[in-house]
Chains A and B, each alone.
Chain A
Amino acid sequence: MQATSHSFKQNAHDALADAQLQKALSKMRPGFQQKRADVVAKLPEFEDLRDRGRDIKNHVLEHLDYYLERFEENVTRHGGKVHWCRNAEEARRTIMEICRSVDAKTVTKGKSMVAEEIGLNEYLEEHGVEPIETDLGEYIIQLRNEPPSHIIAPAIHVNKEQVVEAFRAKHTDLPPNRPLEEVGDITDEARTQLRPKYFAADVGITGANFLIAETGSTVIVTNEGNGDLTQTLAKAHVVVASLEKIVPTLEDASSILRLLARSATGQEFSVYTTFSSGPRRGADLDGPEEFHVVLLDNGRSAMLGTEYQEMLRCIRCSACMNHCPVYAAVGGHAYGWVYPGPMGAVLTPSLIGIDEAGHLPNASTFCGRCEQVCPMRIPLPKMMRHYRAKEYREGKTTPQVRTGLGLWSYFAKRPWLYRQSAKFGAALLGFLGGRKGRIATLPLASGWTSVRDMPAPEGRTFQQLYRMSGHGKKGDRA
């Protein structure tokens, strides 16, 4: 996927001016946020579970090689195959080879952010294989030819009218005057369109929420059951997953599953939780003939042992973006790559570099809500700050910010000079505020005054008034 993270500011500007998008985003608070709060309030051990989830993933990340090899052994034992892919190109090529080996014309796909990350759909199309998204949201944005704007609700930026428009434009085999006013009409039409595709598909591709080392199983959670149809009906099931999805045991996966849906959609559990352990066995009535796991690194192993390692605990629940006031203001497309919101602000620069994604860790108020709701207790603001520090060290902080900081710290380190200039500043700004007590335009602070007034200082600094009221340098007791 072509990144546009470097133009985050422009993207954000456009997003803020998009009335339809703003309307869609305004539903986050009563939706995701309220539902999560309600379901978490009903589970007394939720905080303990967060500790457990964090500990499981920390353990796994310390022994990643061990558990991945156990996983491969067990997948192989069940008749499946694990393909180790260092980067997006290797993963795309591997999947294409599997498609060729079964002479695939079409593939059905469950929702997978890793597939987005490696630009799989474009690649398949270029090589003559038609990918069909089966998750309703993904299907909608595929028809609209755009990337997802949210990691679990890919079409959250789209309204009903736009869905109808896309359906009428693309489902040309149906009568143009058919009713599509009700949500039920829309979902029925999607179901009718997709059903034969499941049967026709040669390959079914899904992502994975977990890879379980002790059983060699992969796990997906969905609410539509599309993943099950995708992986059960095709000749070959390809799981594309990044390597940090590994957990040691079924028990561990179960613990984290208790966190996942609650944090994501505010459900106690997703409607479907599906475990896949290899291809169809002799007596099985259905299931794929082949089972492949495309295991992707794509920059993740390079995060191990760095200040960003904890990011690999992420289970892609989306709680951070659902609670992020910046995401709520600009939506997911503004972030310019696959992963938006706070988790994207850390993961994107880790995977595609700070030259492209430098804005993302800066575009945060550090309000801390993401960390507060993260089921895996990932210190997201801290890691964003580490990226700011990396930019500062490498001289990539913008010149204005650098100059401003340099001046500020010069004074902050010299108390006497600081006091004199604070006196001057308070007097000047107080004068500019005049009788109104506020300043409407201030050339050097236009970032502030372009959108809000600057309340004027009272005229003298606290230190000035405090010393004037008889608190001398030595006896500075109040």
Chain B
Amino acid sequence: MPRAGSGEAVSIRKREWESAVSVSVKARPRVGLFVTCLVDLFRPTVGFAAISLLEKAGCEVSVPESQTCCGQPTFNSGDFRDSRDIAANVIAAFEEFDYVVAPSGSCAGMIREHYPELFEDDPAMAHRAQHLAKRTYELTSFLVDVMGLEKTGAAFDGTVTYHDSCSGLRELEVKTQPRKLLNKVDGLKITELPGAEICCGFGGTFCVKYPEISDKMVTQKAEEIVATGADHLLAGDLGCLLNMGGKLKRLGAPTKVRHVAEVLAGMTDGPAIGEGEN
């Protein structure tokens, strides 16, 4: 329970950071790209797409080599000590930047919403964690909400449907931003997915701890995706995409699966997720 008065102290501190942030932002903001472990391992194209989009929006992008994972797997499994160590590594790696941007609402949500909470009992680290949290964004929300990007200049010939990944949607309010940019992609048509805000059943370790329940959830999701008639499924989080893509492939569905950044950056020449070489 927060004590009376502490709320005020927090908001004063918040204002200090906000002014600190705005003072240090130059004409070309320096962005540290948090690649995310899944993009690093499974889908480097998304990382390059993110760099391209951020540069197009006028940012100077760097990719700290010492980054690994945001710590969410350990955090959500209740291993707070290792999570703190991993978080401390991220904080150190990204402290120098004006902004941290991740092509994932889940990882950005982890840094933004949960890092400060992890260090509740460590004021010095909590301060650094909050400092970082304030400047951390999911890719599409950063492009639209912070950089004011209107269009990316990409073209795409096809119909897409969009799944709103849970953490981005509910922790960071990512909903309109990807659609706003997709609507400006030449040739692209969006068909909305019924139940787009319902979890796909990924849930990090959930999908391997409770595979049968996860299967039920992702099967329903896959059926609804196919029923839209869209030829592509897009989303902003690779974990969900691997889950839904893996299920669509298992069911033999023709739907192609891509991260939204690939389409927005016009990087759709390579195979889609779970597809082989043509």
Contact = CB atoms under 8 A, between A and B. Distances in A.
Q: Which 10 A-B pairs have the closest CB atoms?
A: A365-B203, A447-B208, A388-B78, A455-B274, A367-B199, A389-B78, A452-B246, A392-B78, A409-B82, A437-B276
A463 B242 contact: no
Contacts of A46: none
A413 interface: yes
A462 B44 contact: yes
Most buried by B among A330, A426, A453: A453
What is the predominant secondary structure among interface residues of chain A facing chain B? helix
B37 to A, nearest CB: 8
Interface string B148-178: 0000000000000000001100110000000
Most buried by B among A13, A411, A412: A412
Nearest to A454: B246
B201 A453 contact: no
Interface residues of B, number: 81
Interface in B107-133: none
Interface in B252-278: 257, 270-271, 273-277
A473 B64 CA distance: 8
B247 A477 contact: no
A363 interface: yes
B166 to A, nearest CB: 4
Interface stretch (B5-13, B69-77, B137-145): B69-77
A418 B243 CA distance: 23
A388 B71 contact: no
A132 to B, nearest CB: 36
Most buried by B among A309, A404, A451: A451
Contacts of A460: 44
A371 B170 CA distance: 9
B246 A455 contact: yes
Contacts of A465: 44, 48
B47 A330 contact: no
Contact of A473 (B54, B65, B67, B89): B65
Contacts of B42: 426, 429, 455-458
B63 to A, nearest CB: 6
A422 B82 contact: no
Nearest to A436: B276
B72 to A, nearest CB: 9
A452 B243 contact: yes
Contacts of A326: 213, 217
Contact of B82 (A9, A413, A452, A461): A413
A229 interface: no
Contact of A448 (B1, B44, B208): B208
B68 interface: yes
Given A364-B206, A462-B40, A463-B65, A16 B166 contact: no
Interface in B40-73: 40-45, 47-48, 51, 54-55, 60-69, 71, 73
B183 interface: no
A408 interface: yes
B170 A369 contact: yes
Given A405-B77, A415-B67, A455-B257, 17 more contacts: A309-B1, A363-B210, A367-B170, A368-B166, A369-B166, A371-B170, A389-B78, A415-B89, A418-B69, A433-B276, A447-B211, A453-B274, A455-B245, A457-B41, A458-B45, A461-B44, A476-B62
B39 interface: yes
A397 interface: yes
B198 interface: yes
B166 A366 contact: yes
A15 B39 CA distance: 35
A439 B213 CA distance: 21
Contacts of B212: 12-13, 16, 451
B214 interface: yes
A462 B42 CA distance: 8
A408 B74 contact: yes
B216 interface: yes
Interface string B208-231: 111111111110000000000000
Nearest to B73: A408
B35 interface: yes
A367 B39 CA distance: 21
B18 interface: no
A422 B33 CA distance: 18
B196 interface: no
B277 A12 contact: no
Most buried by B among A12, A362, A365: A365
Nearest to B210: A363
Interface string A416-459: 00110010011001000111111010000101101111111110
B218 A451 contact: yes
